[in-house]
Amino acid sequence: MPSPGKLRILPLGGLGEIGKNMTMFEYQNEAIILDAGIMFPENDMLGIDYIIPDFQYVVNRMQEHGLRIHGIVITHGHEDHTGAIGHVLDHIKAPVYATQLTAGLLEIKMREFKHQDHPLHVIKAGDVLSLGPFSVETFHVCHSIPDSIGVGINTPVGLVVHSGDFKFDHTPVDGWPPDFAKLSEFSRRGVLALLSDSTNADQDGWTPSENVIEKAFDEVFGQVQGRIIVATFASHISRIQQVAAAAQRHGRKLAVAGHSMTEYIKVASKLGYLNLPKDLLIPLDKTNKIPPNEIAIMATGTQGEPSAVLGRLAGGQHRQLEIEKGDTVIMSAHPIPGNEESVHRTINKLIQRGANVVYDRIALVHVSGHARREELKLLINLIRPKFFIPVHGELRHLVQHSQIAQELGIPAENTAVVENGTEIFLTADTLEIGQRIPGGYVFVDGKGVGDIGPIVMRDRENLGRDGFVSVMVLLDQKTGELAEPPDIVSRGFVYLRESSWLVEMSNQVITDIVRSRPGGNLTTAIQDGLAKLYFNETKRRPMTFAYVREVQGSPVPR
C-alpha cells in the first residue's frame, strides 16, 4: 500500500463535489488530512440528514499498515469543510489546526461529539506547520466566510498548493485581500502541483466583489418604508456585517431570527470578526414595539428549508414573527443546486402573504464566494504549477477547469480529473492516476452513521412512491377457512377509508387463495396476489406484506 518515493493524494467521498470535503496527502505512510466536511443529501436521498466522507480506508491503513496522520488542517468554517470533524475524531486522533474563527466554530462541533479536550491548535494565516514530513504554509484567501486559508504543502517530492475555497476579491468586507505575495513567492520557488477550486469553472468572467452588495442594500434600504428582512447563510459573517452597516446607515435597528445564525454571530463577535454596535441590536420580540421603517431583521432559510426562519414565515408558522403587507424580504443568497424548487416556493409563499421579495435575479443582493474563469486563470498563472488537479466541484466543473489549465499551456497529460476515492501519485517528475479505493457516501440519519445502505434507500423510495399494504390472515386450524376477516392496514397507497371497493376485492383475493391452496405456503401467495390486484386496479406498486397463521377457536382483538 505505501508507495515509496511518491506523494499520494486521496480525495474522499462519493460522486458529487469532488475533493471538497476531505483529502489525504501521504508520503511513505506519513500523512495529513485537509478538511473534514459533510455533504448535503440530494432530493432523492430520502430521510438522510447529511453525508460524511467514507474514511474507513484511512482507518484501515492506520490499523493495518501503521499509517500516521500528523494533523488535520481545516481551511475555513463552512459545514462542507468542518461538519464531519466529530465523526473523523471518533476514529482518527490527530491534532486539528485552524484559524481563529474556524476554530471557534469547530469547537462547537467537537463539543457535540465530546471531543472538547482533543487538541485544537489556533493558527494565523501565514503560519507554517511542521507535520511529519510536510511543512504546511498557510495563506489567506477571500471567501464567503472570514479567516479562510489555502495551503502550500512542502512535500519531499515538491511544493503542492491547494487553493481552498476562494475568490480574488480586491475589496472584501473585512479589508483583507488575498495573499498575492505568498502566491508569487510559491511561483518563484517552483510549484509541483496546484489543486484549485472548480465550483464556478463553467462561469465566464470574474465574480463581483462582496462590496457591490452594499450598493444594492442601500438602494433597497433607501426606498422601502416597511420592515426589511434579510436572509442569508448563518455563517456568512461578512454579509451579516454588511446588513448591520446598511441598517445603521438607514436608521434601522437590527434583530436576529434563527438559532444557528445567533450562534455564529455570538462566536464571530466574541472573536472580533463581527462588529455590531450594542445599541444597534434589539431582541426579536421587541421589533413589534418600534415602527416598521426602523426595523431590519436578519434571518436564516435562504435554501427553502421549511423549518428555518424564512420557511416558517412563508408558511405562517413562526412563533414571534408574521409577514405583513409592506414587508420586504431580501434573499441574499443563491439556491444551492437541487434547492431551486423549494427556494422558489418559499419566495412565492412570501409574496402570497404580502411581502415584496428581492432576490438575486432582480437585484445584486448576492455574489458567489467562488472564483470564476478569469480568476481561475489568474491563480494558475500566478502559481505556474507543473501539474494541475481541479478539485471542489462536480465532474462537469472539473472538466471545464482542466480545459482552462490546458488553454494556459499546461499539457493535458499534466492534469488529472479524478473522482473521489481515486488516488493520485506525484513525484518530482510524474503525475499518475492510481486505483479507486473502495468506499463512497456514508449516510447519517438520526443517530445512525453508515447503517443505511442501498437496500433501505430503495425501500424508502418505493414506500415514498406507492406506500404499502399489510394484512394479517388468521385461519381456523380445523376448517382451514378464515377465522376472522383479513385485517388490512395501508399507508401511502390509497386512502383506504374511501376505497372500500379495494378492500372488498382484497378480501376476495385472499379468500380465493386460501381456498385454492389447502396446505400450501400462503404468505408469499397472498403477498403476490395482492400486489397483482393493486397493479391491475390502480397501476401502482405498493409493497405488500402478509402474516398468515392457523389458530384455534376465535381470535380476540386486544
Q: Which residues are catalytic?
A: 197, 370
CA dihedral sign of residues 271, 151, 185, 206: negative
Torsions phi, psi of 155, nearest 5?
-115, 165
Q: How many residues bind its own copies (CB under 8 A)?
A: 85
State in angstroms the smallest separation of the CB of 373 from its own copies: 11
State in angstroms the smallest separation of the CB of 446 from its own copies: 3
Which residue number, 368 or 462, has a Cβ lying nearer to its own copies? Answer: 462
C-alpha span between 542 and 373 (Å, rounded): 49
C-alpha span between 510 and 413 (Å, rounded): 66
CA dihedral sign of residues 52, 105, 142, 243: positive
Ramachandran region of residue 523, left (φ > 0), alpha (ψ -120 to 50) or beta? Answer: alpha
Which residue number, 94 or 502, has a Cβ lying nearer to its own copies? Answer: 502
Q: Do 159 and 192 meet the contact criterion of CB atoms below 8 Å apart?
A: yes
Report if residue 413 touches its own copies, rule: CB under 8 A.
no
Q: Which one of 447, 479, 500, 501 is in contact with its own copies (CB under 8 A)?
A: 447
Report if residue 550 touches its own copies, rule: CB under 8 A.
yes
Q: Which stretch binds its own copies (CB under 8 A): 76-84, 147-155, 183-191, 453-461?
A: 453-461
- Kind and range of the H or E run holding 148: strand 148-155
Q: Do 381 and 213 meet the contact criterion of CB atoms below 8 Å apart?
A: no
C-alpha span between 446 and 311 (Å, rounded): 22
Which residue has cell 482542466?
402
Q: Which one of 46, 59, 290, 531 is in contact with its own copies (CB under 8 A)?
A: 46
Burial class of residue 246 in the structure, from the number of CB atoms within 10 Å of its CB (0-12 exposed, 13-18 middle, 19+ buried):
buried
Q: Which one of 413, 455, 479, 500 is in contact with its own copies (CB under 8 A)?
A: 455
Q: Which stretch binds its own copies (CB under 8 A): 238-246, 265-273, 321-329, 549-557?
A: 549-557
Which residue number, 15 or 412, has a Cβ lying nearer to its own copies? Answer: 15
Q: Do 376 and 401 meet the contact criterion of CB atoms below 8 Å apart?
A: yes
Which parts of 180-219 interact with its own copies (CB under 8 A)? 202-203
Which parts of 502-541 interact with its own copies (CB under 8 A)? 520-523, 537-540
State in angstroms the smallest separation of the CB of 230 from its own copies: 17
C-alpha span between 286 and 8 (Å, rounded): 57
State in angstroms the smallest separation of the CB of 46 from its own copies: 4
Report if residue 277 touches its own copies, rule: CB under 8 A.
no
Report if residue 543 touches its own copies, rule: CB under 8 A.
yes
Q: Which one of 139, 273, 359, 443 is in contact with its own copies (CB under 8 A)?
A: 359
Q: Which one of 460, 482, 503, 505 is in contact with its own copies (CB under 8 A)?
A: 460
Which residue number, 285 or 481, has a Cβ lying nearer to its own copies? Answer: 481
Q: Which three cell numbers stand for residue 375?
A: 480568476
Q: Do 65 and 29 meet the contact criterion of CB atoms below 8 Å apart?
A: yes
Which residue number, 282 or 343, has a Cβ lying nearer to its own copies? Answer: 343
Contacts of 125 (CB under 8 A, 6+ apart): 99, 138, 139, 140, 147, 149, 179
Report if residue 470 touches its own copies, rule: CB under 8 A.
yes
Report if residue 489 touches its own copies, rule: CB under 8 A.
yes
Q: Between vectors from CA 367 to CA 366 and to CA 369, what angle results, nearest 5°?
A: 130
- The SS3 assignment for 422 reads strand
Which residue number, 477 or 516, has a Cβ lying nearer to its own copies? Answer: 477
Q: Do 523 and 548 meet the contact criterion of CB atoms below 8 Å apart?
A: yes
Report if residue 220 touches its own copies, rule: CB under 8 A.
no
Q: Which one of 285, 429, 461, 504 is in contact with its own copies (CB under 8 A)?
A: 461
Report if residue 246 touches its own copies, rule: CB under 8 A.
no
Report if residue 325 touches its own copies, rule: CB under 8 A.
no
